């Protein structure tokens, strides 16, 4: 069986890190006798430049036919002043919607060796290991109306959800918790928003189906505090799209290893999209110094979630840990000891460790 | 001239801290020959218990006639399962709207003596001193429709702003920056929301009127990261209601002294409301151990913003610093050395220092 992988390098360091992941996947194919077939398509700024749209139809079609999608990153100053529909982010939002990628999974786990780079005190961050499950295709991001009114004097955006949309992400979160420490924190603003009240009701309804999982409800403002003061209290966090955007980025800097964090965006039955939690980092693009590990670990998530290749995924994760434990690090990790390496060197080390 | 102050103790530790602030204000009156007249009214849970509504008309009327309002805190587990309109928070949202308190000012500044309690590394938090200016009467909190639809199968909330609402909060933020380090960070999600695009346009329009202030735009997700990794980069942050709720709570734990942080909620020309950034802390209510300093510093903000009594405000702030520098602290501050005191003792120390 051949697994067809669409690669969307995108902008900035996107291409550098995605080809690193490809190398690692090729090493996996060799070692475990698997067959991966890669094709490359445009998204984001580069797609605007080449095709006049951040999401060419051809890209969507290719993704729909693929078994999984790897995405580098989109965006950069070049397109920052474009009109809305010609912005790189539109490509990202568009592909999420087109593939119905409703569940964004973002694990945040520190590497022992790198915790010194955490902005938090060691005693606070030590031992933290959480997973944010963010709803990705609803809420303020896609609700209508979203428009100016009265000659531009007023403006509205709409936070809309259907019961079904909430149910499926809540189910996914409970299931994710069952595979981990069996604790779910549902985050909402039920003291203000109607949508949050429905969200909370659905979590309460669903929890009887997952009696092995303990559930707590935390308000989004309280959660933003608790992530900093008590990060080890969390296991799985589930929340709606905009809250998830903010909280997952907040959580991503806690361990000090943003360049190490993967993510998966999953559909109900269909293709999954895997991308690093970091952005396109235009400031260091083209220098060959980007940390490829977040992208490589995203490829590992792809093996696990889309291809059910657990052993292969584990082999990548283990290789990454080993290389870090040997003291190798890229520039972003700001290590004082050990050996500084560039993107290619880090990739080669990981490939060799596999 | 007599300054009429309405006190709204509210729930939990609200009463304990508000009477502490009253004592301090009485010391100020004596020392600076001022006249304050206090009256007490109900809001929140206690108002639900006594009057069947979290915001009695009588309370609103009293606030409208006052020169300033001090609020303790609202909420507690007792009312957590009440229907929406009988929840303590409704009292808070209602009074904000009734008095048109559109500008919420939340300074976050660490006390040297207490920085050891910060969850952040010392080198990261040291020297941070920021002010969050949150829009408080618009956005998702008050937009309509906010309702279930299709027999409860769908739900919407509305993020609505008028140009005028955005303009006045942006003006307030620029003016606040002029009184500080003259740097303004405007936070939005302009890559997704129409309301954020209008917000960003208005900030760009306004900045020509404040040429002495430097301005940057930061996306809300990036801001949630940067508050943790680079808190000293900020001076004044301005943002809409919901983003402000999340970011100001996030910021409030950075210095490790949540029990020390005051806030002011201001109207265009009218009464201001002053309350601690912390909540009603039902777990320690009635024990006489609450930290009254956030409330006392809120009273200082009242003197400064509502009564233009700068010297008096400074006297309170100085007294607080002195007492802390002498090593006195309440239980929440988790100091290992110095002297542990309760609410009354802390209040007496501050009063004496005045
Ligand atoms: C680029 C942007 C539209 C996107 C989002 O807000 O979802 C990004 O911040 C993310 O979290 O993937
Ligand atoms: C109690 C709640 C409605 C309120 C808010 O969200 O505004 C509180 O969190 C605050 O920040 O003052």
Q: Which of A11, A16, A14 is nearest to A75 (CA)?
A: A11
Q: Which of B250, B239, B144, B264 is nearest to B188 (CA)?
A: B239
Please tell me the distance between residue A193's alpha carbon and the centre of ligand 1 in angstroms: 22
C-beta pairs of A208-216 under 8 Å, 24+ apart in sequence: A209/A174, A210/A174, A210/A175, A210/A177, A210/A178, A212/A178, A212/A182, A213/A174, A213/A177, A213/A178, A213/A182, A213/A183, A213/A184, A214/A182, A214/A183, A214/A184, A215/A183, A215/A184, A215/A185, A215/A186, A216/A183, A216/A184, A216/A185, A216/A186
- Token pair 């008095």 is at which residue? B99
Atom number of ligand 2 nearest to Cα B75:
1
Residue A55 has pLDDT above 90, yes or no: yes
Tokens coding A50: 């080449």
The rounded distance, in Å, linking the Cα atoms of A107 and B243 is: 23
Whole-number pLDDT of residue A81:
86
Which tens digit of pLDDT belongs to each residue from B179-195?
A: 999 999 999 999 999 99
Closest C-alpha to ligand 2, atom 6: B245
- When mean pLDDT is compared across A58-72, B3-17, B54-68, B328-342, the lowest value belongs to B328-342
Average pLDDT over residues A119-124: 96
Residue B7 burial (CB < 10 Å; 0-12/13-18/19+)? Answer: buried
Report the residue of chain A nearest B225, measured CA to CA: A250
Give, for A213, the enclosing helix (H) or strand (E): none
pLDDT band at B110 (very low <50, low <70, confident <90, very high): confident
The CATH number fitting domain A119-254, selected from 3.30.465.10, 3.40.718.10, 1.10.10.10, 3.40.1580.10: 3.40.718.10
Please tell me the distance between residue A154's alpha carbon and the centre of ligand 1 in angstroms: 25
Which is catalytic among the residues A30, A65, A109, A221?
A221
Please tell me the distance between residue A124's alpha carbon and the centre of ligand 2 in angstroms: 26
Rg (CA), chain A: 20
pLDDT band at B336 (very low <50, low <70, confident <90, very high): confident
Report the residue of chain A nearest B242, measured CA to CA: A221
* Ligand nearest the Cα atom of residue A89: 1
pLDDT band at B55 (very low <50, low <70, confident <90, very high): very high
Average pLDDT over residues B254-268: 94
- Annotated binding site: which residue ranges of A? 76-89, 96, 106, 134, 221, 245, 249, 279-291
Q: For chain A, give the mean pLDDT.
A: 96
Whole-number pLDDT of residue A279:
94
Residue B177 burial (CB < 10 Å; 0-12/13-18/19+)? Answer: buried
Backbone angles phi, psi at B201, to 5 degrees: -60, -45
Which tens digit of pLDDT belongs to each residue from A280-309?
A: 999 999 999 999 999 999 999 999 999 999
CA distance A232 to chain B (A): 13
Is A189 a catalytic site residue? Answer: yes
Report percent pLDDT > 70 for chain B: 100
For residues A257 and B309, which has the higher predicted lDDT (pLDDT)? B309
Residue A257 has pLDDT above 90, yes or no: no
Whole-number pLDDT of residue A42:
98
Is A31 a catalytic site residue? Answer: no
Which is catalytic among the residues A113, A172, A189, A206?
A189
Please, what CATH class does the domain formed by A1-104+268-354 belong to? alpha beta
Please report residues of A whose CB lies closer than 8 A to that of B192. Answer: 89, 93, 140-141
Report percent pLDDT > 70 for chain A: 100
Residue A270 has pLDDT above 80, yes or no: no
Please tell me the distance between residue B223's alpha carbon and the centre of ligand 2 in angstroms: 20
Q: Is the CB of B245 under 6 A from ligand 2?
A: yes
**How distant, in Å, are the alpha carbons of A38, A83, B160, B168, B196 from that of A148?**
43, 15, 10, 19, 11
pLDDT band at A114 (very low <50, low <70, confident <90, very high): confident
Q: What angle do CA A94, A147, A169 make, to 5 degrees?
A: 45
Atom number of ligand 1 nearest to Cα A248:
11
Q: Which residues of B25-54 are buried (b: 16+ CB within 10 A; e: fewer)?
A: bebbeeeeebebebeebbbbbbbbeeeebb
pTM value > 0.85? yes
Please report residues of B whose CB lies closer than 8 A to that of A192. Answer: 89, 93, 140-141
C-beta neighbour count of B205 within 10 angstroms: 12
Closest C-alpha to ligand 1, atom 12: A245
Please report residues of A whose CB lies closer than 8 A to that of B246. Answer: 220-221, 224, 243, 246
The rounded distance, in Å, linking the Cα atoms of B133 and B223 is: 14
Distance, first Cα to last Cα, chain B: 22
* Ligand nearest the Cα atom of residue A79: 1
Whole-number pLDDT of residue A192:
94
Which tens digit of pLDDT belongs to each residue from A315-333?
A: 999 999 999 999 999 999 8
Question: Which parts of A132-193 fold into alpha helices (H)?
Answer: 163-178
- Annotated binding site for Mg(2+): which residue ranges of B? 221, 245, 249
Domain boundaries in chain A? 1-104+268-354, 119-254
Please report residues of B whose CB lies closer than 8 A to that of A121. Answer: 118-121
Sign of CA dihedral A145, A147, A148, A150: negative
Is A64 a catalytic site residue? Answer: no
For residues B236 and A338, which has the higher predicted lDDT (pLDDT)? B236
Q: Judge whether A190 and A199 are in contact, CB under 8 Å.
A: yes
Please report residues of B whose CB lies closer than 8 A to that of A332. Answer: none
Report the residue of chain B nearest A188, measured CA to CA: B246
Architecture of domain B1-103+273-354: 3-Layer(aba) Sandwich (3.40)
β-pair partners for B329 = B340
Is A234 in a helix, a strand, or coil? coil
Residue B259 has pLDDT above 80, yes or no: yes
Q: Do A148 and B194 touch (CB under 8 A)?
A: yes
pLDDT band at A271 (very low <50, low <70, confident <90, very high): confident
* Ligand nearest the Cα atom of residue B275: 2
Tokens coding B249: 């709570």
CA distance B253 to chain A (A): 6
Please tell me the distance between residue B247's alpha carbon and the centre of ligand 2 in angstroms: 12
- Annotated binding site for substrate: which residue ranges of B? 96, 106, 134, 221
Report percent pLDDT > 90 for chain A: 92
CA distance A2 to chain B (A): 37
Q: Do A156 and B246 touch (CB under 8 A)?
A: no
Residue B112 has pLDDT above 90, yes or no: no
Q: Do B1-103+273-354 and B119-254 share a fold?
A: yes
Closest C-alpha to ligand 1, atom 2: A89
Report the residue of chain B nearest A252, measured CA to CA: B225
The rounded distance, in Å, linking the Cα atoms of A341 and A89 is: 31
Whole-number pLDDT of residue A214:
98
Is A221 a catalytic site residue? Answer: yes
Whole-number pLDDT of residue A335:
75
**How distant, in Å, are the alpha carbons of A126, B21, B44, B289 from that of B281?**
27, 17, 14, 11
Average pLDDT over residues B338-342: 95
Average pLDDT over residues B98-127: 94
The rounded distance, in Å, linking the Cα atoms of A239 and B36 is: 47
Please tell me the distance between residue B324's alpha carbon and the centre of ligand 2 in angstroms: 28
Tokens coding A190: 């039920």
pLDDT band at A263 (very low <50, low <70, confident <90, very high): very high
Residues 6+ apart with CB under 8 A from B292: B16, B17, B20, B21, B330, B343, B346, B347
The rounded distance, in Å, linking the Cα atoms of A292 and A323 is: 13
CA distance B80 to chain A (A): 9
- Nearest-CB residue to B157 (from A87, A195, A250): A195
Which tens digit of pLDDT belongs to each residue from B158-181?
A: 999 999 999 999 999 999 999 999
- Annotated binding site for substrate: which residue ranges of A? 96, 106, 134, 221
- Nearest-CB residue to B140 (from A153, A193, A249): A193
Q: Do B163 and A140 touch (CB under 8 A)?
A: no
Whole-number pLDDT of residue B168:
98
Tokens coding A258: 């943003």
Please report residues of B whose CB lies closer than 8 A to that of A146. Answer: 193-194
| 3-state class percentages of chain B: helix first, strand second, coil last, to nearest 5 | 45, 25, 30
Mutate to test the interface with A, among B93, B96, B166, B246 (most CBs of A within 10 A): B246
């Amino acid at each position: 069986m051949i697994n067809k992988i669409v690669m969307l390098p995108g902008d900035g360091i996107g291409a550098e890190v995605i080809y690193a992941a490809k190398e690692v996947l090729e090493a996996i194919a060799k070692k475990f006798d698997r067959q991966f077939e890669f094709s490359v398509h445009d998204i984001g700024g580069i797609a605007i430049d080449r095709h006049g749209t951040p999401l060419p139809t051809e890209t969507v079609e290719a993704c729909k036919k693929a078994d999984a999608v790897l995405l580098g990153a989109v965006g950069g100053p070049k397109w920052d002043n474009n009109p809305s529909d010609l912005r790189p982010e539109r490509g990202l939002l568009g592909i999420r919607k087109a593939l119905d990628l409703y569940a964004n999974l973002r694990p945040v786990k520190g590497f022992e060796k790198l915790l010194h780079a955490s902005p938090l005190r060691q005693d606070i961050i030590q031992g933290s290991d959480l997973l944010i499950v963010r709803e990705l295709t609803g809420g303020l991001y896609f609700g209508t109306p979203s428009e100016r009114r009265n000659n531009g004097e007023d403006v509205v955006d709409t936070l809309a959800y259907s019961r079904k949309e909430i149910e499926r992400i809540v189910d996914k979160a409970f299931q994710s918790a069952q595979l981990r420490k069996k604790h779910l924190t549902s985050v909402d603003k039920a003291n203000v928003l109607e949508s949050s009240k429905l969200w909370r009701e659905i979590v309460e309804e669903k929890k009887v189906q997952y009696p092995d999982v303990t559930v707590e409800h935390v308000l989004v403002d309280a959660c933003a505090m608790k992530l900093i003061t008590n990060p080890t209290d969390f296991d799985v966090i589930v929340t709606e799209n905009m809250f998830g955007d903010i909280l997952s980025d907040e959580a991503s800097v806690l361990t000090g290893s943003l360049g190490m964090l993967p993510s998966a965006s999953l559909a109900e039955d269909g293709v999954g999209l895997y991308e690093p939690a970091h952005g396109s980092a235009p400031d260091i693009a083209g220098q060959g110094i980007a940390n490829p590990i977040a992208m490589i670990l995203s490829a590992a998530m792809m093996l696990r979630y889309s291809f059910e290749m657990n052993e292969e995924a584990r082999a990548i994760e283990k290789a990454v840990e080993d290389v870090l434990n040997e003291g190798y690090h890229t520039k972003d990790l700001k290590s004082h000891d050990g050996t500084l390496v560039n993107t290619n060197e880090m990739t080669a080390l990981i490939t060799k460790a596999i």
